[in-house]
Amino acid sequence: MSNTRNIPDRLNIDDAVVAFVDHQSGLASLARSAMPELLRNNVLALADAAMLFRLPVVLSTSFEQGPNGPLHPELGRRIRGAAYVPRPGEVNAFDNRDFVQALRQTGRRQLVISGLTTDVCVTLATLSALREGYQVFVVSDASAALTHEAHGVALMRMAVAGAQLVTWFSVVGEMMQDWRRDPQGLAQLIAEHVVPYRDLIVSFEGKQQRQ
């Protein structure tokens, strides 16, 4: 009999909740481990995926009135009907009762998380979530830190603690499960956020028309 105790679960569309932690205008200026335009694309792609697969979403910010700044406006416009928890000062989102309650109200136990910065906001929330019994999937390319080293060390720390490291595209793949399962809007999502794949679609459609 094979031993599956140490094999992590796959993402389950019926058990996943997505948390965007501290994607704020001020903190974005500190994110130097990723190119700004690429980070923006990845965060919005994750948001679009959450909407496409109808996953519950929790948005949270910290100390908006200070230098951290407000929630990134594009992200706020992308997410419809999400729980929104502006934390007055807690660095670790799990130290805020409203944030924890918003997650618990979804009834889901797989936490897909991204945020700024990776080594503080994402890491502290991830470690707390693991202690609370959540399966945590850290979206590495939709998170960033002050340096590449800080981002990498944070990812290693979370992985050692038991979190799974994923990308926004791998989240889409796990939710889709089968190429024949084509929810309306999937092609548009991929075309918008993965330029090489958009070119591939255009090339394929051109060949189909010529046949």
Residue 39, C-beta contacts closer than 8 angstroms, at least 6 positions apart: 28, 31, 141, 142, 144
Per the listing, tokens 């002050």 go with: 146
Asked about 121 being catalytic, the answer comes back as yes
Distance of CA 169 to the CA centre of its chain: 10
3-state secondary structure of 180: coil
Q: Of 18, 16, 17, 20, give the one whose Cα is nearest residue 86.
A: 20
Residue 29, C-beta contacts closer than 8 angstroms, at least 6 positions apart: none
45, 47, 58, 121: the active-site residue: 121
Query: What residues are annotated to the active site?
Result: 121
